[in-house]
Structure formats: C-alpha cells, structure tokens
Amino acid sequence: MAQTARQPTVFPDASGLPKVAWGSGVYVYDTAGKRYIDGSGGPTLFCLGHGHAEVGAAIKEQLDRIAHGYRFIFTSDPLEQLQALIAEQAGGALDKVVFVSGGSEAVESCLKVALQYHAANGEWSRRRFISRQRSWHGNTLGALSVSGFRGRRAPFEGALIEASFLSPMNAYRPPPGVAVEDLAAFGADELEREILRLGPERVAAFIFEPVVGAAGGAVPPPPGYAKRVREVCDRYGVLMIADEVMCGVGRCDAWRALAVDGVEPDIMAIAKGLAAGYMPLGAAVYRHAMHEAIIAAFGELLTGHTYSGHTTACAAGLAVQRIIVRDDLVAKVSEDGRYLRARLAETVGRREEVGDIRGRGLFIGVELVADRETKAPFDPELRLFARIRDAAFAKGLICYPNGGNIDGVRGDQVILSPPYTATRAELDEIVDKFSAALDSALASLPR
C-alpha cells in the first residue's frame, strides 16, 4: 500500500476504550476506578475542568424552568445575556452573535454569513474561500472543504466545495527558501497573489486559525502576520474569518486570540471554551454593519439550526463566561502558560527527539523529530504520536496527539491544553507524566 493511502488519525478504536464514570477538577475517573489527569482538557474543551458546581447549578436551574425556547418563537434571558457578554469580551464592532451547537457549525455559519453579506451587497460572484494547509476547521462539508487536514478530508474528496490553500505559517517549518524573519511578509504576499489570480471579485473570505490547533499543534503566527493579512483583505474587499474554536475564549493570552496580534476580524468562530463542554455550544460572531446589510437585503440571517440558541446551553455558557471574567482566568492562563512552557523546556526540551515547544497561553504543542538538527520527522509508519497517546493514557494522563502535522502524512506532535483552573502542582503532574510517557513511547520504537 502506498504511504499516502494510510492517513494518520488520533482516534483509537472505540471498542477498546474505558468507560467514564465521573470527574472533578482536572481529574477524570473510569468505572474501574482509575484516575486520569486531563492534560489537554479532552480536545482542548474542558476549560473549567470537570464537575464545576456553579455551572452544574446553572444548568439544573434552567432545566427546572424550561429546557429550550425555540429561537423563531422565543428569545430568553440566558441567550440575550450571553450575547451581551460575548460582545463585551470580543470588543470593537464584533457584537452580533448566532449560536449553534459546536465548532463545526460555528465555522459553517461564518462561511454562510460571509456569502450572505456579499450577496446583500450585490457581489454575487464572491463565492470562493481561501484557507491554509495544516489547519482544521471542522467536520461539516463546508468546514471540511476549507480544512487543510489531509487525513480527515481524504474520504470525502470529490464532494467538497472548491477552495484555495496557502502555505502553513509555522516558524519552526517555514516554506523552502523563506527565512523566519520574512515569513509574515511571505504569507501576506502569497494571499495577495492568490486573490489576484482568482480575481478579487470572486473571493469571499480568507479563513485562518490565529493559533493553529489540531492539524499543526498549537502553532502561533509569525509576528506581524495577522496585521499584514488584515491589510491585504481590506485592500480587496475580502472578509477575514478568524477560527477561534480551539484557541479563543481565553485560551491564548486574551479572550479573543487575535487580539494579541492587534487585529479584529470581520467574522469569528468560537466554541470549545464557550460552554467548556458542559453543554454543546458554539457561535459565529460578526460585525454590526454586516448584520445591518444582511437584514436590509434579506430580512434575516440565513443560518442556524433547530438547537441554535438552545436556552440551557446558553445558560451553561453564561455561567462559564461569568466565572472566567469573575476569577480573572484569562490573566491566570497567560501566567500559567509561561510556567508550563518553562517546565516543559527544562523537563523534556533537552531531549534530542523534542524539536519544538510552542504555543500561547495554555495551548502548547510539542513536536517530535527523529533528527533535531535537520528537523527530519519520524517514519509515519511508526505512529509515534499514537504510541505517546497510549503510553500517557496508561500512566493516567490525557493529552492530545496527532500525526501528519508536516504534510498530512509525516510529523508527530502533542498538544497540552489543561483547564484554566489547574493549579501549579497539577501542571507539574502533567509535565511529569508526559515526560514518563515520552520515555515509554520512545523506548517502544524498533531499534
């Protein structure tokens, strides 16, 4: 079988999974009584950990009243209050929100908002999206179409909408011949060239992750990149969509990850940290002026689903966001992120197999290499990322490994993204268990 036919995946065979029983704080317990420390918040989801009493009480209180008021019949206090809180935290002109059930739906709604906005302005030819390789935007067909994640796209090729893909923006692995200090300019120029190649009148939006998640491994942008991209988008009337499903809502040194770069998008997707896994919830957030144009032309925003604005989900999200604000968790995440990266650097960073430790806040990626000097990856047939996952799990650590982060086939990386509420002692435990898991996984490789 050709190497390209086998695509790496992080998902194990469900038939062999333990059965979850309960959780408290950063710990999860299975029905056999084994305890796991959640070093990645599952898939970078459980930002307040597990079993948070205040969030559970808010959900119960709402359920005791009514589970859901369908959005075309009713609004609700949780929905309106959460909308206002999101607008306040997002800042600037990002004050319109459509709620959905998760990150893929949030991205799908962002794409539809962009298309409807251009249609409202009479620019019906603006249908094309531009994205980047090694970025993941979701599982719906639209979100998958703009995702440069080879393994997850492969079974659906031929049914996806056409999109353009640019180079990844990874300072550890810049494109051939591009110096790290020139990476931001290269990325912006590449975007401009693609817009001009297609014709600006055909391009709807550029979508990117401010800090790349699962497909790259917590990859921050090169300095100045986001501002340069913003200028290119403005120059040609192309909308900027920030996919902050993984990196947003306080995860990466600010409530809005792109705020660290001094940039405001036109549309933004958020999800995982919004309700912290206590209820399924995501949102597309967009500019007030865009909303006005859409309403004037069509009378309504043509996106959303039966469970959009689900009352209990909004109650959960409202409780989570109030806790994040009240407990100043965004500042804590920033401080703890520096601590965690330093601990990783001193504990595993000296290993020859650790090529890069990167990220922002409590969103940290560790890339493994076979040769530190050349950055050559391990043979993908070894599936080192899966060996690390299994070794960590055996030792009671949940982490988030993935393969193919270089080109869709080669590359092994692990994301550590613990709950915002983790203590320093718990962060130390995560590092110690991760170090031991690396020892075991590397020792298991054939000699």
The verdict on 37 and 103 lying in the same domain is no
Q: Which CATH number belongs to the domain containing residue 156 in this structure?
A: 3.40.640.10
- Domain with 359, as residue range(s), is 3-51+328-443
- Please give, one letter per residue, the 3-state secondary structure of 184-247: HHHHHHHHHHHHHHHCHHHEEEEEECCCECCCCCCECCCCCHHHHHHHHHHHHCCEEEEECCCC
At 195, is the pLDDT very low, low, confident or very high (cuts 50, 70, 90)? very high
Are 304 and 435 part of one and the same domain? no
Query: Is 248's pLDDT higher than 80?
Result: yes
Evaluate if residue 10 carries a pLDDT over 60. no
- pLDDT class for 5, splitting at 50, 70, 90? very low
Share of the chain above pLDDT 70, in %: 97
CATH number at residue 380: 3.90.1150.10
> Is the pLDDT at 7 greater than 70, yes or no?
no
Q: What is the pLDDT of residues 301-338, one digit of tens each?
A: 999 899 999 999 999 999 999 999 999 999 999 999 99
Verify that 278 and 159 share a domain, yes or no: yes
Last residue of one domain, picked from the residues 298, 326, 354: 326
Model confidence pLDDT, tens digit, residues 51-108? 999 999 999 999 999 999 998 999 999 999 999 999 999 999 999 999 999 999 999 9
Q: What's residue 16's pLDDT? A: 83
User: Is the same domain home to 67 and 187?
Assistant: yes
Residues 174 and 272 in one domain: yes
If we measure between CA atoms, which residue out of 12, 13, 11, 31 comes closest to residue 21? Answer: 31
CB burial of 409-423 (b: ≥16 within 10 Å; e: otherwise) equals: bbbbbbbbbbbbbbe
Share of the chain above pLDDT 90, in %: 95
**The pLDDT of residue 377:** 98
Residue 3 has pLDDT above 90, yes or no: no
Q: Residue 15 pLDDT more than 80?
A: no
Query: Which has the closest alpha carbon to 277: 311, 246, 242?
Result: 246
The domain boundary residue, chosen from 326, 355, 389: 326
**Amino acid identity, position 228:** R
Q: How confident is the model at residue 304, as a pLDDT?
A: 86
What is the total count of domains within the chain? Answer: 2
Distance (Å, whole) CA 375 – CA 377:
6
Residues 108 and 254 in one domain: yes
45 and 64 co-located in one domain: no
Q: Higher-confidence residue: 150 or 433? A: 433
Length of the chain in terms of residues written? 447
pLDDT at residue 447, rounded to an integer: 83
> Do 342 and 354 lie in a common domain?
yes
Cβ(276)–Cβ(56) below 8 Å: no
Tell me, yes or no, whether 43 and 116 share the same domain: no
pLDDT band with cut points at 50, 70 and 90 for residue 151? confident
Residue 408 is encoded by which pair of tokens? Answer: 């869709």
Q: How far is CA 361 from CA 23, 43, 250, 253, 417, in A?
A: 24, 16, 8, 5, 9
Judge if 189 and 310 occupy the same domain.
Answer: yes
Residues 37 and 125 in one domain: no
Residues 297 and 364 in one domain: no
Give the tens place of pLDDT for each residue, 16-38: 899 999 999 999 999 999 999 99
